[in-house]
Amino acid sequence: QVQLQESGPGLVKPSQTLSLTCTVSGGSISSGSYYWSWIRQPAGKGLEWIGRIYTSGSTNYNPSLKSRVTISVDTSKNQFSLKLSSVTAADTAVYYCARMSSNWGQGTLVTVSS
């Protein structure tokens, strides 16, 4: 069973870049025709899709975040990553990584504050 685990700083200053990594275990990130997604959830609110990367390396991003988001994959480490630039308090949320819709990480809280 594939498992995903998010990691990265829990506190980011405004205007800086948020960087998170999702480590995949129990299977190779480069096998199969999957996509790997980042999703976030502000406290008390619903889920918001950020973007995804296919095993081919192609990406899709939420249009509302596209100018600030980069998702990349490191197959040698079985990881994929999220970078969100120019963050503000509105980017404070629990960030989840997921494989397709069927496997979710446990989530990591990122707070944007000085």
Partner 1 sequence: QPVLTQSSSASASLGSSVKLTCTLSSGHSSYIIAWHQQQPGKAPRYLMKLEGSGSYNKGSGVPDRFSGSSSGADRYLTISNLQSEDEADYYCETWDSNTQVFGGGTKLTVL
Residues that bind partner 1 (CB under 8 A): 1, 37, 39, 46-49, 52, 60, 62-63, 96, 101-107
Nearer to partner 1, 1 or 113 (CB): 1
Q: How far is the CB of 8 from partner 1 (least distance, A)?
A: 16
3-state SS class at 69: strand
Radius of gyration, CA atoms only, the chain = 13
Least distance from partner 1 to the Cβ atom of residue 114, Å: 27
At its nearest, how many Å lie between partner 1 and the CB of residue 15? 28
User: By C-beta, is 14 or 42 nearer to partner 1?
Assistant: 42
Task: Show the tokens assigned to 38.
Answer: 């980042």
Report helix, strand or coil for 72: strand
Q: What are phi and psi of 27, to 5 degrees?
A: 175, 160
For residue 85, CA distances in Å to 28, 55, 89 come to 28, 24, 12
Nearer to partner 1 by Cβ, of 10 and 46: the residue is 46
